[in-house]
Amino acid sequence: MGNALLQSIHVHPVKAFRGVSPREAVVEPWGLAGDRRWVLIDHGGKVVTQRQQPRLALAAAELLPGGGVRLSAPGADPMDVAVPRPDGTVPVEIFGDKVEGVPSDDPAAHAWCSAFLGADVRLVHMDDPATRRPVDPAYARPGETVSFADGYPLLLASAASLDALNSLIAQGEYPAEGPLPMNRFRPNVVVAGADAWAEDDWTRLAIGDVVFRVAKPCGRCVVTTTDQETARRGKEPLRTLGRYRRFGGGLLFGQNLVPLTRGTLRVGDPVRILDPAD
């Protein structure tokens, strides 16, 4: 692990939209600054993701100063959306969690998103991630919270593990679908220089000066089969993960992290594996 480093950083301001890949990012207790603080909900308050709407892969979101977002998508004019005033919240259901969010106070933002998807959706902001949504208590320590991410503050993936997975895909039923890019897995941080699948054994690590604990491996879903450039779905990587990476009913790729300290991550930062007691 002496040569392991942070290869890339990925922030997704709106859950399920394309994100940005900055050279550095601030780590907050609930994730990277600006990551997944916005989400779309349907008329019943349920979160809308690429699971239901693969077309969301074609929409992009950039962070604006102050926490707002610039939305863009094919066939639509870009739109800037400011952080809404905290005048009231709406219930948001995200994978069984009941969370309060603040809807955009710009009706045009809801109309823009609804027109793009061809479905009635609303754009909602998480105003206070320190209090709104606890991490799954089965894997959390008291007081740990998360944004609108699937369940944990950060997702780590390994470049070597992706290479190994792509080698297996090349030998499988659907070799023409590979090699898959890392964006299929929508990580926050990508580590290079570690052995393939070494992350399965990590419990604590430091990226630069920031320390993280590994909460649990990441079980993968149909989103990974969605081409992030075309929104078309295939069979991989779930077919290959099902053959080689099935553990306890989950198809695993990547590790969910919880920050133990604050700081700033920078591309090129060294990655050190720590003892659980460190």
pLDDT given for residue 161 in this prediction? 98
Query: Looking at residue 218, what is its pLDDT?
Result: 98
Q: Quote the CA–CA distance of 77 and 72 in Å, as a whole number.
A: 7
The parts of the chain modelled with pLDDT lower than 50 are none
Q: Phi, psi (5° rounding) for residue 116?
A: -65, -40
Residue 204 forms beta bridges with which residues?
213, 274
Model pLDDT, residue 276:
74
Distances (CA, A) of 260 to 91, 131, 143: 29, 17, 12
pLDDT of residue 277: 62
pLDDT of residue 275: 81
pTM for the model:
0.96
Q: What is the pLDDT of residue 278?
A: 58
- Residue 256 contacts residue 31 (beta carbons within 8 Å): no
Quick one: which H or E segment has residue 265?
Answer: strand 263-266
